Amino acid sequence: MTWLEVSLILVAGLWAGTINAVVGSGTLVTFPTLVALGYPPLTATVSNAIGLVAGGVSGAWGYRRELRGQGRRLALLVPASVVGGVIGASLLLHLPESAFEAVVPVLIVLALVLVVVQPRLQRRLRRRAEERAGTTGGATDSPAGTGPLRPSRRVLVAVVLSTLLISVYGGYFTAAQGILLVAVLGSLLDEGMQRLNGLKNVLTLVVNLVAATSYVLFGADRIDWAVAGLIAVSSLVGGALGARYGRRLPPVALRAVIVVLGTVALLRIIGAQAGWW
């Protein structure tokens, strides 16, 4: 590994840790970078997932204030994230590598679409939260269980099942699971965006931690430990920066970089499969 490669991986990890804490989809920075440097897609995915655990820890810790009052919610959703993460990681490790390489372009396209439409989703969620606050006279950022609207049993079941399915996706391919979580949970729960973001950071951390543990136990031969270590160090710093300063970063610039890098990875994978290089 050259110094240029080390520098690129460190920068990608820093950026990914930062935007994961703020909006999610940091994998669409690190994964394309690793693929562009010549790492096989499966090795890139596994090593990246292990490295980003550190950034997830610092990002979740940075949002600890927004997690106050959400203990019961976490107790309900963390087990679903654990189960989903195990299933997703198992699929990644046991399905043929050719299957992963075939489905990755589809997953990247899905993740890029989510990144592009995220502003519209957020505006819709904000309007919905404001309408609820206006009709109930309450604040949408109140702690779980004390807000104006309590979710029904049917809604709770939908929240748990949605979290489980998104966690399966996250355990298999981590990109944009945070965006999926915020979009789905925001449409089901009467909660403010920042508190949803804090919840998202914990749940994605759980999925990444479960998946990383599975990779270490059952797929250690597919891990590039140097890459994982570099991403861990830089994403740890990035997660802290994202939790503290990331809300000030221009979202348009973040999304533009993600889309460009994701497109580069998509073209490289498709090109390699087609024998263009």
CA–CA dist 179, 182 (Å, integer): 5
Number of residues written out for the chain: 277
Q: In this predicted model, which residue has the larger pLDDT, 160 or 104?
A: 160
Q: Which of 11-25, 47-61, 89-103, 165-179 has the highest mean pLDDT?
A: 47-61
Confidence of residue 54 (pLDDT cuts 50, 70, 90): very high
Average pLDDT along the chain: 81
Contacts (Cβ under 8 Å, ≥6 apart) of 221: none
Q: In this predicted model, which residue has the larger pLDDT, 253 or 162?
A: 162
What pTM did the predictor assign? 0.76
Q: Quick check: 140 pLDDT over 70?
A: no
What pLDDT does residue 145 have?
Answer: 40
Q: In this predicted model, which residue has the larger pLDDT, 38 or 99?
A: 38
Q: Quick check: 1 pLDDT over 80?
A: yes
Confidence of residue 8 (pLDDT cuts 50, 70, 90): very high
Q: What is the mean pLDDT of residues 191-209?
A: 86
